[in-house]
Structure 1
Amino acid sequence: MAKRLVIIDTDCGIDDAQALMMALAAPDLQVLAVTCVFGNTAVENVCQNVLRVLDVCERQEIPVFRGSAGPLVGARRTPGDHFGTDGLGDVFKDQDPQWEEKIQSEHAVNAMIRLVTEQQQQVSLVALGPLSNLALAVRLDPGFPQKLRDLFIMGGNMEGKGNVTLCAEFNFAMDPEAAYVVLEDFLCPTSLASWEYACRNALTWDFFQELIGQNFPAAVFMRTITSRCWAFSQESSSSSSSSRDVPRNKREVFFGPGFVSYDAYAMAACIDGGVVTDSVECPVRVELQGSLTRGMLALDRADELKKSHAVRVLTRCDPDRFRRMLLDSVRLPRDRV
């Protein structure tokens, strides 16, 4: 059986690294390229982070392309330091002096269009960061979405609960116009792993310790990049802690404690459709005008928008299948067939 062809568009933070390793570990997947976009950190850091992951997994043959350094409109928002200023927990002091030579000279958007055009209806696109590269692709080639096999997005929200603004999820808030363009113009089969989907399918911290506690190079890498990151601290997610010095993020307030590797949920859905056990199909739209709701995803369950295209919004996953995929992702490198 031919392997499923995939392009991964990422703003490589810690959870993106986990998702990328998940794709590299999947025996039925062939990663054609990794395209980089700003988001968790500057696009230059994203490129270096992707190269680090590929080095750890001994997959340096996969081409990496630099893409959008900012949103379609306006100045780039400050991403904060959820995953550290460099996106990987600020644990690496060394920098490869030749990293730019390892990045392809072709722009990520051009590469994306070229690769999909060469193999129409065969390539799945997994978008793990702001959707700027995808929006530019459809503007350069309006037929681009129809050439895709399907699209998987990590981003947006189902209930107006935001994690960086009052009502918007991070990836959509970083480039609302791009999110709007993609969800209006991409008419290919589209699956969306929202912020709430990830949070409601959180895993235990005991599993997280099992995940990073192995001796494979990829597991050691994950243990290293999460070692100083508050987002991967059990203390930060302890519902029993009463100390005012312990920060509580919005996920903990809304959904309770648990280990959540956000981007891995979208990747898992691409790798194995059986990991998704429930979803909602309906038209969606990204709000651009509201002073409090800019970047929020609206689900049109009542068909008020009269759109012809529906999106599959994921709601529930099989935790056992998801755990197995995560465990496989850190058992790298290993012999490849």
Structure 2
Amino acid sequence: MLCPVSEKCRGTEKSEKKLLIDVDCGTDDAQAIMMAIASPNVTILGITCVGGNTDLDNVCTNVLRVLKLCDRLDIPVFRGAETAILGQNIHASYFHGKDGLGDVPDASAPGLELIQKEHAVDAMKRFASEYPGQISLVATGPLTNLALAVRMDPTFPHKLNSLYIMGGNMESRGNTTAVGEFNFLADPEAAYIVLNDYLCTTYIATWEFSCRHKLSWDWYDKWINMGTEKSDFIKKIYAHSLQYSRSEKEEKAIVDGPGFVSCDSYAMAAAIDGSIVTKVIECAVTVELSGKFTRGMMVLDLIDELKKKNKVFVINGCDMEKFVLLMESAVK
């Protein structure tokens, strides 16, 4: 069912938000973290890492690099799952670079000794117990850590306020296979578990939604040339991916034409300011696990075939003026 978003569901821009962020830190994850750090109404309790866009050591290092850039190394970072539940990893190094951040050398990058000793899944469970009903969990990578958390503690999702996911698709369009979006395809079993076992309020920013709310390349060029340390950083780490995202082949793959798509930033923006979400499709969802051509595809149950009580909000509308303001604040 397509509907506007009620105030009760989306909250308000000014309300304080406690975020726990789970990432496979590539370029758009980095941008999303910077967006959260720049938001005055947000407290980031911790950042948990999962293998995905690049290997887990790189993910951890990349998060530390972003935190150092933003002078926020006080935010704890936790090492999580290195492989998918079935251990069949894929990566996106062709797009994000082998290191996940465009293969830009950084001799001053913080060392992995700064990573917390506590495992990411244990940290997630602990935070949820310490702040019951208060945490919005934002997941911008494969959902392996989230699946492990609910398997270890079935009460974990009940302790969350809400869950925001970047992943999946709503029209059978993929970016890794014909119908597979990267985050869900990287660990379909984990996505299946999360979408079936997390009964908290859940918002999903899909691949097609992200593409339909892309930003113009003219805007992008101005954004990365604002002359700040943070905009310079974004300009450097995105340079590798631009050879693909601005190529004729990639532009044809983008839903509804060319433009700059920072997928993870949409889920983060929704978590920061619920009023950014203007329309949703409220329905049950699941993930295909066994199809020869459709493994990892998210399925929207618009006719109640699954008979699932819990419904999610698949985001289908975005206040672009507010979104742009959050994007620009991240690099000031």
| TM-score of the pair, normalised by structure 1 | 0.91
**Residues 322 and 232 (structure 1 numbering): CA distance in 2 closer, same or farther, change over 3 Å?**
farther
Shift of 1:79: 3.3
1:26 to 16, 39, 44: 39
* Contact 2:133 2:161 (8 Å CA) reproduced: yes
Identity within the alignment, %: 50
Following superposition of structure 1 onto structure 2, how do residues 90-101 of structure 1 map, counting pairs within 5 Å? 90-92=103-105, 94=107, 96=109, 99-101=111-113
State the 1:183 CA deviation.
0.2
Correspondence for 2:187 among 169, 175, 190: 175
Equivalent runs, 1:1-337 vs 2, <5 Å: 3-92=16-105, 94=107, 96=109, 99-230=111-242, 234=246, 236=247, 246-248=248-250, 251-252=253-254, 254-331=255-332
- For 1:231 and 1:202, how far apart are their aligned partners in 2? 17
C-alpha displacement of 1:231 = 5.7
Counterpart Cα distance in 2 of 1:220 and 1:78: 26
Q: C-alpha root-mean-square deviation of aligned residues, in Å?
A: 1.5
Residue 2 of structure 1 deviates from its aligned partner by 7.0
Which shifted more, 150-159 or 81-90?
81-90
Query: What letter is aligned with 2:312?
Result: V
Aligned to 2:3: none
Aligned length: 319
Summarize the Cα distance change of 1:325–1:231 in structure 2 as closer, same or farther, 3 Å threshold: farther
1:31-65 per-position Cα deviation (integer Å, ceiling 9, x unaligned): 00000001100010000000000000000100000
Q: Retained in 1: the 8 A contact 2:93–2:100?
A: no
Whether the 8 Å contact between 1:204 and 1:258 is mirrored in structure 2 is yes
SS of the counterpart of 1:51?
helix
Provide the C-alpha distance between the structure 1 equivalents of 2:112 and 2:173, rounded to a whole number of angstroms.
Answer: 38
* TM-aligned CA deviation for residue 255 of structure 1: 2.2
| Aligned 8 A contact 1:199 1:251 in 2 | no
C-alpha distance in 2 between matches for 1:275 and 1:231: 30
Q: Check 1:139–1:277 CA distance in 2 against 1; reply closer, same or farther (3 A cut).
A: same
Look up the SS of the partner of 1:156 in the other structure.
Answer: coil
Q: Which runs of 4+ in 1 moved over 3 A?
A: 231-234
User: Please, which runs of 5 or more residues in structure 2 have no aligned partner?
Assistant: 1-13
1:19 positional shift: 0.4
CA contact (8 A) 1:169 1:296 kept: yes
Letter in 1 for 2:26: G
5+ residue gaps in structure 1? 237-245, 332-337
Partner secondary structure for residue 181 of structure 1: helix
- Residues of 2 paired with 1:250 and 1:164: CA distance? 14
Q: Secondary structure at the match of 2:94?
A: coil
Give distance in 2, aligned partners of 1:219 and 1:79: 23
TM-superposed CA distance for 1:162, in Å, is 1.1
Q: Distance in 2 between matches of 1:46 and 1:217?
A: 21
* Cα-to-partner distance string for 1:255-298 (whole Å, 9 max, x where unaligned): 21001100000000001111111110000010001011000000
Q: CA deviation at 1:211?
A: 1.1
Summarize deviations over 1:231-274 as a string: whole Å, max 9, x none: 6754x2xxxxxxxxx5436633x421001100000000001111
* 1:276/1:317 contact within 8 Å kept: yes
Match of 1:243 in 2: none
SS in 2 for 1:256: coil
Secondary structure of 2:127's aligned partner: helix
**Judging changes above 3 Å, is the alpha-carbon distance between structure 1 residues 79 and 314 closer, same or farther for their aligned structure 2 residues?**
same
Residue 210 of structure 1 aligns to a residue in which SS?
helix
